[in-house]
Every structure is written in structure tokens, then in C-alpha cells.
Amino acid sequence: MLDDLKDNMQKSVEATQRSFNTIRTGRANPAILDRVTVDYYGTETPLNQLANISTP
């Protein structure tokens, strides 16, 4: 049971770190759009699979 709790907490920490990694201030960052999905012929598809996203 304690191992399950540790695993769940570790997963929560990793998810939070991924969320914080998308937050950048002061410059453009294409990672902000990683979680954006669009309706593509009736299927929710991540935007980065439909287009190349880059910053100068």
C-alpha cells in the first residue's frame, strides 16, 4: 500500500513538472501548444501532429 502511494505521488509530481515546463515568460515557446487539440475529421488530434510549430 505504501508503494502504491509513493508511485501515485511520483506520478503527480512528474505531471506537475510537465505542466510547469510549458509555462515560460519573456519569450515565445512552442511547448505551450503541446496540449492543444483540434477537431480533424471528427477526431481530436494534437496540433503539433498537424503542423510544424517553431519560434525564431
- pLDDT tens digit string along 3-55? 889 999 999 999 998 888 777 667 777 877 888 999 999 999 999 899 988 88
Please say whether the beta carbons of 38 and 47 come within 8 A.
Answer: yes
What's the whole-model pTM score? 0.48
Report how many domains make up the chain: 1
Q: Which run of H or of E encompasses 39? A: strand 37-40
pLDDT at 24 (0 to 100): 65
Domain coverage including residue 34: 2-49
Residue 31 located in a structural domain = yes
Residue 28: phi, psi to the nearest 5? Answer: -70, 140
55 within domain boundaries: no
42: left (phi over 0), alpha (psi -120 to 50) or beta: left
* Contact (CB, 8 A) for 38 and 44: yes
Is the residue at 54 inside a domain?
no
3-state secondary structure of 18: helix
| 45 lies in some domain | yes
